[in-house]
Amino acid sequence: RLSLCPEHFIEFIEKRFKKTIHKVKALREVNKVVVAVSGGKDSVTLLHLMHKVSKELGFKIIGLTIDLGIGEYSIKSVNKAIKNYEMLGTSYEIVDLKKEYGFSIDDIARYRKRAGIRKPICSVCGTIKRYIMNKLALDIGADAIVTGHNLDDIVYYIFSTLYTGRIKDLAKISIYTPSKYKLVAKVKPLAYISEKETLLYVLLRRLPFNYGVCPYAKLRTFHEQIRKTSNMLEEKIPGLKITYAKMFLEKINPIIYSHYVREEKLKECKVCGMPTTSEICGFCKLRSAMGKVLKND
């Protein structure tokens, strides 16, 4: 409900960001942190805020951008991410999915059915991103990975897991996931900052970002409906989204987590050595299925 001038809005966002980090005690005693940067408004905001916090708390950040191979959208996203790294003088890694692993997200969209992949594109894309983030963090010995999930994403996860009755997934929603056997800790420091606020932040600070939308995002119709509905409610009841997310993450989640989540035993994937609950990890299965289809094409 605040009316702020540009300067105080920027200050307000920075304060909220730091407050979240201190609250979840996530970035204490870390030396190296991977910042996942797609080049969109959320991750560009994340990078600039993390850059500031890393100087104050004394740790090193390494940007990670994955070139997913989604036509023009990926070209623009990677370029914007690099512009921001160079602006800040941050070290970074670009992982080209096609060059590194032989397939792109566009290949998945085209050959998904032939490869026997039943999951929606965005769900496959999520698996790929999580795998690459964790692999890089392990390879360089990072203590944590921070991602640009914002308040709207958190509200959506809560709503969709509740709606579909995925209680374990609901219980796992959190701002901070500690590390366990070869899975590097994950932090979502933008959890209490909305997408409208990250957009304002990058615009007011005149930061380069890709304002385009991934062409596959339109396939997420349920996601879009929830987004529209929660924004409509927010207009009528300002502050609803943040109250909803805070109540869930801070009051309800700790109770249901201890009740529903049992520690799964992780082991090394027989192909790549990364952590998995089965013999071969989801990423290797996907890579092998895509490899076969692309070889025969």
Residues lying near Zn ion in the complex (CB under 5 A): 269, 271-272, 274, 281, 284
Binding to ligand Q46, residues 158-217 (CB under 6 A): 214, 216-217
Question: Per the structure block, which two tokens stand in for 185?
Answer: 């800790």
Considering the rule CB under 6 A, would residue 121 count as an interface residue with ligand Q46?
yes
Q: Quick check: 157 and 254 in contact, CB under 8 A? A: no
Q: Determine the residue type at 265.
A: K
CB of 220: closest distance to ligand Q46 in angstroms?
7
Question: Closer to ligand Q46 at the Cβ: 53 or 289?
Answer: 289
Calpha distance 167→158 (Å, rounded): 10
Q: Which of residues 229 and 288 has its CB atom nearest to Zn ion in the complex?
A: 288
Residue 157 Cβ vs ligand Q46, minimum distance, rounded to whole Å: 13
Counting DSSP H helices and E strands in the chain, the numbers are 13, 8
- Gap between the terminal Cα atoms of the chain: 56
- Using the structure block, give the residue that is written with the tokens 């009841």: 237
How far, in Å, are 10, 11, 158, 179, 235 from residue 15 at the CA level?
9, 6, 25, 26, 24
Task: Confirm or reject binding of residue 46 to ligand Q46 (CB under 6 A).
Answer: no
Contact of residue 125 among Zn ion, ligand Q46, none (CB under 5-8 Å per partner type): ligand Q46
How many chain residues touch ligand Q46 (CB under 6 A)? 8
| Alpha-carbon span 181 to 277, nearest angstrom | 11
Rounded least distance, CB 218 to ligand Q46, Å: 9
- Compute CA distances 201 → 42, 84, 99, 156, 192, whole Å: 9, 14, 34, 22, 14
Phi, psi (rounded to 5 degrees) for 94 = -110, 125
Which phi and psi (to 5°) does residue 260 adopt?
A: -105, -25
Q: Which of residues 212-251 bind ligand Q46 (CB under 6 A)?
A: 214, 216-217
Minimum CB distance to Zn ion smaller for 61 or for 269: 269
**Residue 269 binds which of ligand Q46, Zn ion, none (CB < 5-8 A, kind-dependent):** Zn ion
CB closer to Zn ion out of 175 and 286: 286
Give the shortest CB-221-to-ligand Q46 separation in angstroms.
12
Decide if residue 105 touches ligand Q46 (CB under 6 A): yes
The residue ranges that bind ligand Q46 (CB under 6 A) are 105, 121-122, 125-126, 214, 216-217
